[in-house]
Chains A and B, each alone.
Chain A
């Protein structure tokens, strides 16, 4: 059993779908932090069997907007002085910028170098549309 220390002040992103931890790490640009960050892959989970966890020490102001899009199973826990002070599910972001790309070959983004912008068109079904051509994003 691998042990990672608890954090004193920071954020724990728990219940990340197993295998998505690195993607979350990249999209949240955690590599830019100079504080201690741990990624735990395939941790045991009573709810899901396996899960990934990310622990970020010493930072509370990370832009987590994109997290709701990548993995809406995840839970964001804020830790202060070693205690859990807030636990929440990340909401779906209204807008995604340069997170996903439009696959419509007729879209201007296929030829022009512009930001890939998608907006949330249906919260219930988690569907996004390209800002330019309005084609729905399909994984």
Chain B
């Protein structure tokens, strides 16, 4: 039985085949609309989520399956002190697959150790968010046809942003990828990501403190939120926040086929006037999340053996 806890649980080949399946579902959704008839997805969300939970539920429903679960820890037996291990053992008898979001880092891994059904990490604290990574990869691939060779600028909070770290870890497995890290000094990519992930990959990378200086060279601009609470004082926040807001003026420096992405929710880091620019892909990116989750559910339930090819499926 396979789980998805870390984006690297999937080999590069498996990731690519999963993305191909997602594209196939996108192209002909009706062919998959009964693929999960009679199957149940449990959404165990110990902390609130809009996009992730709804997209998982939408994915299962579009496959003909059903969902059950809870949307916050207060509404679950966790409020009575039940352990993750016990909850998932119990849910293993109620559903066929689990999507878990938890505020504690590593909780889905604990769940996977005790579960009798596949577990998908739907975000664990500030740690991993593998289905967001798959969504990001699908969005890049759909836009460019290929992820290899991409020049990606990651902008904003690169220190605490889990989506950024997961995406970097996945992208280094592709060929000829170049990274540009655009952030204030305080929110730079952590040293261990550079030393243990980026440098050993041999991919070129550089750091920049404004997006204007690098925008013309990028194929993808991946925006993240610069959160006020990450700064030590209000002055620094006020001084720096505008440097990381994408406006139509700044976007005019970008390539014609630039892809502007954002894991959402967006607050003020992308001006609303950018939304109508054909290069703004963030809402399409959110939509892609449904198809990638459909593909993942099929694969983990053993209903898409082509994803695993040679590896142990379920």
Contacts and interface: CB of A to CB of B under 8 A. Distances in A.
A136 interface: yes
A134 interface: yes
Contacts of A135: 105
Given A114-B113, A121-B196, A122-B196, A132 B106 contact: yes
A2 interface: no
Contact of B105 (A107, A113, A114, A136): A107
Nearest to B108: A108
Contacts of B103: 106
Nearest to A102: B106
Of B84, B106, B124, B125, chain A has the most CB atoms within 10 Å of the CB of B106
Interface string B60-87: 0000000000000000000000011100
Contacts of B256: none
A85 interface: no
A76 to B, nearest CB: 30
B194 to A, nearest CB: 13
A107 B124 CA distance: 9
Nearest to B5: A132
A108 B192 contact: no
B196 A108 contact: no
A134 B124 CA distance: 12
A12 interface: no
A108 B125 CA distance: 10
A1 interface: no
Interface size class of B (residues with CB under 8 A): 10 to 19
A109 interface: yes
A136 B106 contact: no
A136 B195 CA distance: 13
Interface size class of A (residues with CB under 8 A): 10 to 19
A133 B84 contact: no
B105 A132 contact: yes
B107 A108 contact: yes
A122 B200 CA distance: 12
Nearest to B126: A106
A108 B110 contact: yes
A4 interface: no
Contacts of B85: 112, 114
A111 B102 CA distance: 12
B154 to A, nearest CB: 19
A61 to B, nearest CB: 29
Interface in B166-221: 192, 196
A135 B125 CA distance: 13
Given A113-B83, A114-B85, A136-B192, A108 B113 contact: no
Contacts of A134: 105, 127
A110 interface: yes
A122 B199 CA distance: 14
B8 to A, nearest CB: 11
B104 interface: yes
Contacts of A109: 106
Contacts of B127: 133-134
Nearest to B125: A106
A104 interface: yes
A73 interface: no
Interface in A72-86: none
Given A107-B104, A108-B84, A132 B109 contact: yes
A112 B124 CA distance: 14
Contacts of A130: 106
Nearest first, the 5 closest Cβ-Cβ pairs linking A and B are A132-B106, A133-B105, A108-B104, A108-B106, A108-B107
Given A109-B106, A112-B83, 17 more contacts: A106-B126, A107-B105, A107-B106, A108-B84, A108-B104, A112-B84, A112-B85, A112-B104, A112-B110, A113-B83, A114-B85, A122-B196, A130-B106, A131-B109, A132-B106, A132-B110, A133-B106
10 contacts: A106-B105, A106-B125, A108-B84, A108-B109, A112-B85, A112-B107, A112-B110, A130-B106, A131-B106, A134-B105
Interface of A: 104, 106-114, 121-122, 130-136
Interface of B: 83-85, 102-107, 109-110, 113, 124-127, 192, 196
